[in-house]
């Protein structure tokens, strides 16, 4: 098993050599949406290789124009509005992306971007940073979005295509040990572990007034979709007898508001908070509730950067980002009553220790580990 590359959590990216400055490079990402975890990784890779040409399937209308992006032919079709319907054609799009050849191609993949080919494998070096093998294809039960009946028939075909069209990849990196294991299970390939970057400095550098809040509520952050389990967070807060703030946006908003009306603790909603407001919410929370199975999970690291412990499931990315009993509490239960004793024990945790753990996931650490991987894989 490949271990994470060693890095100094307090290091600076300034001392790093310019990556691949003597080579032509293509940087490839799936669809580019309003900036989430995978987009932030892609931006960080682009920062390290500024001369790389950037390709995406399409850019969502609400995405910030942070990079000059070349979009595939899919961007000119109605398929850009439906990721599930577009999925069967994504391998075709990646093989017809450009006629140009490159010395190095680095993909940021959570569907089929790792199958991209822009030159023969003898002349071009292919590296892929994987957020997850396509959940729609390989693990539809993990994420309900893959349960579209229209995908049932072609799923086996897509799995075979995924394996066949990715044989040319020379080296993989995974965003977590969870994804590393999935790559081995589904693709029969090894991968280095390079955790995503988190802007911990932004969260630690909050105004003094934010840092001196009373920490008198629980907090849930993320996209309001079913598998994130915000309904369970509401029940946990009720069981613990503490107010809850839910920050984010998503299609489950109305259902969550109805659920909030049925409990005996205050539940408030922060829709699309700014980065500064979210930082303020982290600093004011007694704990972040994160009872969901994520491949990695940037939100728990952001919370810890604010000295806020995390309470969540004892599997997935939390096993890498939270130290049970030191920076939070992890539990293998979906019973909201099981979480109440953990909330009662939060006073045992040292906020300075919580903050220190977040430094292990800084952009400097990511830059050092990614640079080491790229240099080794392109020698």
Per-residue pLDDT of the chain (379 residues; tens, 9 = 90+): 444 554 444 444 444 567 999 999 999 999 888 667 788 899 999 999 999 999 999 988 777 766 789 999 999 999 887 887 888 889 899 999 999 999 999 999 999 999 999 989 899 999 999 999 988 788 877 655 556 666 666 788 889 999 999 999 999 999 999 999 999 999 999 999 999 999 999 999 999 999 999 999 999 999 999 989 999 999 999 999 999 999 999 999 999 999 999 999 999 999 999 999 999 999 999 999 999 999 999 999 999 999 999 999 999 999 999 999 999 999 999 999 999 999 999 999 999 999 999 999 999 999 999 999 999 999 9
**Residue in the block written with tokens 């199958």:** 115
CA angle 94, 99, 101 (to 5 degrees): 90
Confidence at residue 144, expressed as pLDDT on a 0 to 100 scale: 56
**Distance separating alpha carbons of residues 102 and 165, to the nearest angstrom:** 18
Across the beta sheet with 285-290, the strand order is 267-271, 244-249, 217-223, 285-290, 310-313, 328-331
- What distance lies between CA 184 and its chain's CA centroid? 19
**Residue in the block written with tokens 């991987």:** 373
State whether the Cα torsion 255-256-258-263 is positive or negative. Answer: positive
Q: What is the value of pTM for the model shown?
A: 0.86
> For the chain, percent helix, then strand, then coil, each to nearest 5?
45, 15, 40
294 neighbors 195 (Cβ within 8 angstroms):
no
Confidence at residue 12, expressed as pLDDT on a 0 to 100 scale: 41
Confidence at residue 136, expressed as pLDDT on a 0 to 100 scale: 79
Confidence at residue 16, expressed as pLDDT on a 0 to 100 scale: 54
**Distance separating alpha carbons of residues 48 and 78, to the nearest angstrom:** 33
Confidence at residue 8, expressed as pLDDT on a 0 to 100 scale: 45
Q: How would you label 6-36 residue by residue, b for 16+ Cβ within 10 Å and e otherwise?
A: ebeeeeebeebeebbeeebbbbbbbbbbeee
Which secondary structure element, helix H or strand E, spans residue 53, and what is its range? strand 53-56
19 neighbors 46 (Cβ within 8 angstroms):
no
Confidence at residue 14, expressed as pLDDT on a 0 to 100 scale: 44
Residues shown for the chain: 379
Confidence at residue 148, expressed as pLDDT on a 0 to 100 scale: 62
User: 82: which residues sit within 8 A by CB, 6+ positions away?
Assistant: none
Q: How would you label 176-205 residue by residue, b for 16+ Cβ within 10 Å and e otherwise?
A: bbbbbebbeebbebebbbbbbbbbbeebbe
């Amino acid at each position: 098993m490949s271990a994470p590359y060693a890095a100094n959590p307090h290091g600076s990216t300034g001392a790093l050599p310019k990556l691949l400055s003597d080579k032509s490079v293509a940087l490839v990402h799936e669809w580019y949406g309003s900036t989430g975890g995978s987009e932030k990784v892609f931006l960080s890779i682009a920062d390290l290789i500024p001369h790389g040409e950037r390709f995406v399937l399409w850019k969502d209308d609400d995405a910030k124009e942070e990079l000059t992006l070349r979009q595939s032919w899919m961007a000119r079709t109605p398929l850009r509005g439906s990721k599930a319907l577009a999925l069967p054609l994504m391998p075709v799009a990646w093989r017809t992306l450009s006629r140009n050849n490159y010395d190095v191609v680095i993909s940021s993949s959570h569907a089929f971007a790792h199958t991209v080919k822009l030159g023969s494998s003898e002349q071009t070096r292919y590296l892929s940073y994987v957020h997850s093998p396509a959940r729609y294809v390989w693990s539809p039960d993990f994420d309900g979005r893959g349960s579209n009946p229209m995908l049932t028939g072609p799923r086996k075909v897509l799995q075979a295509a995924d394996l066949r069209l990715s044989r040319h990849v020379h080296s993989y990196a995974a965003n977590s040990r969870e994804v590393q294991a999935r790559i081995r299970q589904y693709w029969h390939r090894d991968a280095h572990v390079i955790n995503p970057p988190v802007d911990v400095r932004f969260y630690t550098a909050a105004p003094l007034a934010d840092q001196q809040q009373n920490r008198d509520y629980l907090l849930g952050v993320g996209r309001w979709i079913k598998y994130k389990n915000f309904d369970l967070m509401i029940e946990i807060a009720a069981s613990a007898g503490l107010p809850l703030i839910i920050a984010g946006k998503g299609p489950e908003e109305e259902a969550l508001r109805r659920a909030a009306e049925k409990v005996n603790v205050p539940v408030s909603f922060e829709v699309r908070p700014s980065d500064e407001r979210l930082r303020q919410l982290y600093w004011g929370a007694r704990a972040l509730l994160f009872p969901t199975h994520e491949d990695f999970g940037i939100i728990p690291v952001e919370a810890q950067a604010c000295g806020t412990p995390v309470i969540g499931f004892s599997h997935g990315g939390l096993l890498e980002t939270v130290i049970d009993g030191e920076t939070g509490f992890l539990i293998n239960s979906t019973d909201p009553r099981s979480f109440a004793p953990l909330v009662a024990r939060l006073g045992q945790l040292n906020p300075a220790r919580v903050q220190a753990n977040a430094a292990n996931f800084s952009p400097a650490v990511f830059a050092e580990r990614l640079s080491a991987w790229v240099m080794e894989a392109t020698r």
